[in-house]
Chains A and B, each alone.
With several copies, the nearest count.
Chain A
Amino acid sequence: MLPEGLTTPVTARIKNKRAASPAEAVADVKDGSVVMVGGFGRGGVPEILIDALCDKGVKGLTIISNNTGTHETGIARFLKQGCVKKMICSFPFATESNVFRDLYNAGKVDLEVVPQGSLAERIRAGGAGLGGFLTPTGVGTELAQGKQILTVNGREYVLELPLRADVAIIRARQVDPRGNLTYRMAGRNFNPVMCTAADKVIVEAIEEVELGSLDPEVIITPGLYVTRYVVAGKYSSRV
């Protein structure tokens, strides 16, 4: 916490970012949206918000996420329900990604494979207002095909373009009324960068805490990025 005398209390009423339910939290997500989904494998995946979006029956999504789901859970739920038009990811064909594999082989879903570091960096660039970046990753490979190659100081780089989304759905550990977030171990993964790169950021947090109870030094995602949140503890014990 801050040293004595360095905190100013909030006097104005602050906007309530807490949604009454997961269904309400995702109510304004439109068909055809580009949706970033946090998580890596089974870690830090916003399962409750995925379920809520599925229950809503949204269609034609482009999903940006590292993986394509684990058996019937996570993004596989989206896929199984036919919500997804296209996946942008780095690791589509894990052993447990049987749902995606079947759909892809049947020609029912489009796929863009991006190297994992370039995927994370493209999302960061989208959030940081950059027009792109030069990376050595992918030079001389088929994943650089159709992309501009620039030579800087004698070394070749691929120009990768930013990624942004209409909506990001995020799994966090703690949230306060501002929307300040912490994460849980490797559940952090893509979540913080995705928070920066979407027009609307919807969070499920394991725990809600009071304003001022998070040490300002340990907040990973400042609340300014967060549109609204639900408290996961109330709806599920899945961690």
Chain B
Amino acid sequence: MNVAALAKVLLTSEQLAKRVALELEDGWLVNVGIGMPTQCLPFVPADRDVQFHSENGIIGMARPPKDLKHADNDLLSAGKGPVTLLQGGSFVHHADSFAISRGGRLDAAILGAYQVAVNGDLANWRLPKARTGSVGGAMDIAVGAKRTFAMMTHVTKDGESKIVNKVSYPMTAQRSVTKIFTDMAVVAVMPEGLVLEEYVEGLTPADVQAATEPKLIIPKTVKPIRF
């Protein structure tokens, strides 16, 4: 498939956000990382009670203020955008905020990624050529959440698979990713290997495999992505 044709079938970042949001279950507490993950908030189905945790001590982070004149520097997301507080939410200081994530209280964390390996290793905090990077809360959150969802494009701009046999980018957290959501597929990280659960319409499971470095397990239950 040529690049132009491929671009037409891949999920937009909004579609990807919708798909990830569908994965969040009623009653969950979820941390959303900076960037793409934040886009998931508005797409949680209205009948599900999902609370968002922001590393800067917000429990019950919600959508931006409807009137932006109410935006407040003391109520920003981790990505520094204005947000509101869900009724019944609360605030904690930074040490208590990270006690929540390291302590295993996050049902899920949604994080951007540069690379995810077959064993769940996550690389998302700095580019290999940079001298250093901005780690933020990624390491603490990936290591502590019950489920870590990686949310990313399937391949790099150069067409290289971001799902890899072994991460070559600097490590964020070992064996932490449980599911990978890309513009091409949903892939579960299982003890037996990577299981292709869903693929974008317009592609075949074989197309997804062709864009993916490690061998995928393709079960009979594999299906098109819905959102």
A→B interface (CB under 8 Å)? 2-15, 40-44, 66, 70, 90-94, 96, 111, 113-121, 123-124, 127-130, 135-143, 176-178, 180, 183-193, 196-197, 211-212, 214, 216-217, 219-220, 222-225, 239
Q: Which of B134-158 contact A (CB under 8 A)?
A: 134-141, 143-144
Interfacial chain B residues near A3, Cβ < 8 Å: 70, 72
Interfacial chain A residues near B67, Cβ < 8 Å: 5
Whether A225 touches B85, Cβ cut-off 8 Å, given contacts A11-B46, A12-B46, is no
Sample of 9 more A-B contacts, CB < 8 Å, known A6-B75, A116-B94, A224-B29: A5-B69, A7-B87, A43-B56, A115-B139, A128-B98, A141-B171, A184-B74, A222-B59, A239-B72
Contact with A along B79-123 (1 / 0, CB 8 A): 010001111111111110111111111000000000000000000
- B135, A116: Cβ atoms under 8 Å? yes
- A90, B137: Cβ atoms under 8 Å? yes
Whether A115 touches B137, Cβ cut-off 8 Å, given contacts A186-B58, A225-B105, is yes
B→A interface (CB under 8 Å)? 26-27, 29, 46-51, 53-60, 62-63, 65-67, 69-70, 72-76, 80, 84-95, 97-105, 132-141, 143-144, 170-174
4 interchain residue pairs of minimum CB distance: A5-B70, A117-B140, A129-B102, A117-B98
A-B contact pairs, 29 of them (CB 8 A): A2-B85, A5-B69, A5-B70, A5-B84, A6-B65, A10-B88, A12-B26, A14-B49, A15-B49, A41-B76, A43-B73, A92-B132, A92-B134, A115-B135, A115-B136, A116-B98, A117-B102, A118-B139, A120-B97, A137-B139, A140-B174, A143-B135, A176-B88, A177-B88, A180-B90, A184-B74, A186-B75, A224-B105, A239-B73
Complex CA gap A115/B138 in Å reads 8
Residue of B nearest to A135 (CB): B102
A-B contacts counted at CB < 8 A amount to 231
- B143, A137: Cβ atoms under 8 Å? yes
- A185, B93: Cβ atoms under 8 Å? no
Interfacial chain B residues near A140, Cβ < 8 Å: 171, 173-174
Complex CA gap A123/B78 in Å reads 20
Residue of A nearest to B144 (CB): A129
- Shortest Cβ distance from B168 into chain A, in angstroms? 13
Whether A188 touches B134, Cβ cut-off 8 Å, given contacts A129-B99, A140-B171, A141-B172, is no
Complex CA gap A121/B100 in Å reads 12
- A141, B173: Cβ atoms under 8 Å? yes
- A222, B80: Cβ atoms under 8 Å? no
Interfacial chain B residues near A70, Cβ < 8 Å: 80
Contact of B57 among A91, A139, A189 (CB under 8 A): A189
- B87, A9: Cβ atoms under 8 Å? yes
Residue of B nearest to A192 (CB): B93
Interfacial chain A residues near B87, Cβ < 8 Å: 7-10, 211-212
Whether A7 touches B85, Cβ cut-off 8 Å, given contacts A94-B134, A184-B74, is yes
- B75, A123: Cβ atoms under 8 Å? no
- A113, B140: Cβ atoms under 8 Å? no
- B135, A42: Cβ atoms under 8 Å? no
Complex CA gap A40/B78 in Å reads 8
Complex CA gap A93/B132 in Å reads 9
Whether A8 touches B174, Cβ cut-off 8 Å, given contacts A42-B80, A224-B51, A225-B105, is no
Residue of B nearest to A225 (CB): B105
Complex CA gap A70/B40 in Å reads 26
Contact of A185 among B85, B101, B136, B170 (CB under 8 A): B85
- B84, A6: Cβ atoms under 8 Å? yes
Residue of B nearest to A105 (CB): B131
- B143, A136: Cβ atoms under 8 Å? yes
- A8, B99: Cβ atoms under 8 Å? no
